[in-house]
Amino acid sequence: METTTKPIHLGRKISRIRELRGIKQEVMAQELGLSQQTVSRLESSEAVEEEMLMKIAKVLGVTPEVIKHFSEEAAINYFNNFNDHSNSTFNNHCTFNPLEKLMEVIEENKRLYERLLQSEREKIELLKERKLD
């Protein structure tokens, strides 16, 4: 009985990694200096030239080996294991609203700017008074 192994379909792997990383084809195309249609064709290709694979890997933030050996099942297991362990070890809940903190900082900057502006106005008035004397 003869068994044949399925050839590695690099394009599908590239596509899936891109999707997992939250990168749109248009963005990837722009980073590679290609058209979106060319990226689409690359993702439907079974084989990708080594030089292009290196460029794509860089854009995706992985190594070419990660793309070549990517497995959907391994990725799911990794994230499931990561979440299972991190939830029991770490408490990753914010105790404050980040937007409220940002607004507080903006308001503080406004107050500082107003104080600086008032100080500059007072300096100008003092200089005017000295000039008149």
pLDDT at 95: 72
Domain positions in the chain are: 10-76, 96-133
Between 58 and 76, residue with greater pLDDT: 58
Residue-level pLDDT at 20? 85
CATH 1.10.260.40 fits 10-76, yes or no: yes
Pure H helices in 61-97: 64-68, 72-89
Distance of CA 23 to the CA centre of its chain: 8
pTM: 0.53
* pLDDT tens, residue by residue, 10-35: 999 999 889 888 899 999 999 999 99
pLDDT tens profile 63-113: 888 888 888 777 666 666 655 544 444 455 667 777 888 899 999 999 999
Look at residue 4 in the predicted model and tell me its pLDDT.
Answer: 55
DSSP E strand boundaries for the chain? none
CA 63 to chain centre: 17
